[in-house]
Structure 1
């Protein structure tokens, strides 16, 4: 009798467990690469995970840090990851050189590029045009450095009038602080708060985002390989929807978003990253365009400008068509994208 009772109990427990097993198996697994180590804006995806958005949409997402936008582009282009988040400027060259692994932007998270020129007070630079004759610093091949000639043209700067010093990305801000360079290029929110972390008084930091000074192009966003998208249209649509829902959660609960990232990275600085996200939100995400047309709105005229300036900067003779580069096919309806 004891054995029989145990058998029945075990069978009952197994029967009760079956629905949970089936639910878990119904989740579509996705490999998602970020552009860098965890920063405040990445909380839109950690919150989507923590608060059940992925689960409700039938997704199981593994989110891994990246090592630069170029790294994320290669990972997705090679098929090592299904979806990525990165500054899409480098994809102009990638797509021209790898047409069989063409990448497509399916949700431009940053309506405006975060690329900027940054300096400190006391360097003789009070406006962008003052960099003529100065020594600028940035890693070799870094996106904002590659875009500088296009920015210089619209800002009235002779690109040949500046000297460049190359360094590893983790040394850029220190070299600016210690006067080894006069100014640097990089993402505004990255350089600004890295300098704050180095003890630079915030009032001493001067920054000029390219997008606010004549070069109004898209920045970082969610992208995937064209071939993968054709086979996974519904999955891509659900991931974009989850991303936008996650961003809305973050906009309404920044402390909760920072805590979500802290659970994933114990050294994460919640206070500093909350401020970094606020700058990212105000300068790159919630722009007049996205407020009027909804998050992720795709304007093909702006896409063509992005392709043109990057093709010129990178020496791409056969740039992709705008329609092969960006799409709004996977975005939710405008009413669900309004903030």
Structure 2
């Protein structure tokens, strides 16, 4: 007796399985990437959360784990040590790190803030109506904080007499309170951080005065994406894909700020969407969208500005032989210029 032929699989199941194979391969090909922010969630971080929520990282074959930060200096150390692959951090501190640990050299692969957010901030009624008025006054900031270390360079650029300035050091979480309670006349810090922290303390916005360094003679880039040079040699494609997705996330955020704030709210229930919307607006208008980024595209950095940034930070940290700027900045991982235009 001849055995009956086995029934064949329905054609639709075969086709379905064939179509599913690329998706399975993609899912298996997701490369893990550890990413550290510079601080607790703030409005500008939505460029990364939107890239995650809208599947941009996944589309680029990346499984990104994003963790909050505890200050740019801490993030730079974590990336340099290999605890994280990429970090978002302010440039201050990177020159010192590279000078001390050249074997763990950090490279900025995407300067997100075309202008540094470092600033002097005070309140009306303190007798300070312009940057030069801080001469002879009592200033405050955490010791070793980037904006404080850059202040001498800012003072030279802005024509501020530093001879009689007195500094008080405090923990970062006490800076705004000490300004509000008149324990110091002014503080240095990131403009959008100090400004909206003061708003959160109940200070009317019209009472807050701030002068960003970049708008008063010290036109330097600010925060961006850093990776370790050794990691980049082995993971250049992942770096390129991460930068591409992050930049697309920024464009999504610029086009739909409420969606970005909602994206962060999902991750932190105490996230203040209204306040962070205003914080991001200041960050966008003072640090991200600038004449340079409009003309040259997001992430554009001329080497002359990079060299100035290295030189100023080397002076701030007392580094006699700083690393070459070309060893700390690269545009190799940026998308084509046509994709970076606003």
TM-score, normalised on structure 1? 0.94
- Residue 56 of structure 2, aligned match among 49, 53, 58: 53
User: 2:22 & 2:217 partners in 1: Cα distance?
Assistant: 56
Partner of residue 160, structure 1: 163
Partner of residue 72, structure 1: 75
User: 1:308 & 1:158 partners in 2: Cα distance?
Assistant: 21
- Residue 178 of structure 2, aligned match among 164, 175, 180: 175
Matching of residue 307 in structure 1 with residue 281 in structure 2? no
CA RMSD of aligned residues (A): 1.6
- Residue 251 of structure 2, aligned match among 248, 253, 256: 248
Q: Which runs of 5+ in 2 are unaligned?
A: 1-13
Q: CA deviation at 1:302?
A: 0.4
User: 1:20 & 1:269 partners in 2: Cα distance?
Assistant: 37
- Residue 233 of structure 2, aligned match among 225, 230, 235: 230
Matching of residue 36 in structure 1 with residue 39 in structure 2? yes
Helix, strand or coil: the match of 1:161?
coil
Helix, strand or coil: the match of 2:109?
strand
User: 1:196 & 1:245 partners in 2: Cα distance?
Assistant: 30
Q: CA deviation at 1:120?
A: 0.2
| 1:78-157 correspondence runs (5 A) | 78-157=81-160
Q: Which moved more, 1:252-261 or 1:128-137?
A: 128-137
Partner of residue 8, structure 2: none
Helix, strand or coil: the match of 1:117?
strand
User: 1:281 & 1:269 partners in 2: Cα distance?
Assistant: 18
Helix, strand or coil: the match of 1:232?
helix
Partner of residue 322, structure 1: 325
| 1:236-275 correspondence runs (5 A) | 236-275=239-278
Helix, strand or coil: the match of 2:224?
strand
User: 2:28 & 2:150 partners in 1: Cα distance?
Assistant: 45
Q: CA deviation at 1:155?
A: 0.8
User: 2:206 & 2:223 partners in 1: Cα distance?
Assistant: 27
Q: Is this contact kept in 1: 2:136–2:162, CA < 8 A? A: no
Runs of 4+ residues over 4 Å off in structure 1:
15-21
Q: CA deviation at 1:221?
A: 0.1
TM-score, normalised on structure 2? 0.94
Structure (1 or 2) with the larger CA radius of gyration? 2
